[in-house]
Structure 1
Amino acid sequence: MYKLRYFFEKHGFGALSRLADRLGMRAKNVRLFFIYVTFATLGVSFALYLTLAFILRLKDLIYTKRTSVFDL
């Protein structure tokens, strides 16, 4: 079970961990809440997660912090 958890934490988008950082909560609690909500709403939360991950990925690609003017 720990290997599966480690795999998803390493290779996932990290949308829930970024959300937990922004809210000032532990990532484990946010992930656990997400799992419960996913089962309760029958997959709507999973679609929300994929949308959030896609938006965060786009934001990272568009708004990259440049160290100097010459990085263009």
Structure 2
Amino acid sequence: MIQRVLTFFERYSFGVCTYLGEHLNISISKIRLFFIYTSFLSVGFPLVVYFFAGVVLDLRNYVKRARTRITDF
């Protein structure tokens, strides 16, 4: 059951922790724990930052895909 929940969040999350981990060379699990602990301590403010970063990353990927489709012609 726990594995199904983890798989769901891995598949449908925005990939913010993965993106930050790859660019900062930090373990992804440490970044996730940071978001979890700080959201408990600061009443959810990091979750707002996480969702905003997720939207920005989705827009960035959308623009990259649109550019490649235009240049493929």
So what's the TM-score if we normalise by structure 1? 0.83
Shift of 1:25: 1.1
Shift of 1:36: 0.3
Shift of 1:67: 8.5
* Cα distance between partner residues in 2 of 1:11 and 1:68: 27
- Asked whether 1:47 is paired with 2:23, we answer no
Shift of 1:66: 2.9
RMSD: 2.0
Gaps of 5+ in 1: none
* Cα distance between partner residues in 2 of 1:22 and 1:56: 13
* Cα distance between partner residues in 2 of 1:62 and 1:68: 11
Superimposed CA distance per residue, residues 20-62 of structure 1 (whole angstroms, 9 cap, x where no aligned partner): 1111011111101110011011011110000000001111111
3-state DSSP of counterpart to 2:68: coil
So what's the TM-score if we normalise by structure 2? 0.82
Gaps of 5+ in 2: none
Aligned pairs for 1:7-22 within 5 A: 7-22=8-23
Name the aligned partner's letter for residue 3 of structure 2.
Y
- Asked whether 1:28 is paired with 2:24, we answer no
> Larger helix proportion, structure 1 or 2?
2
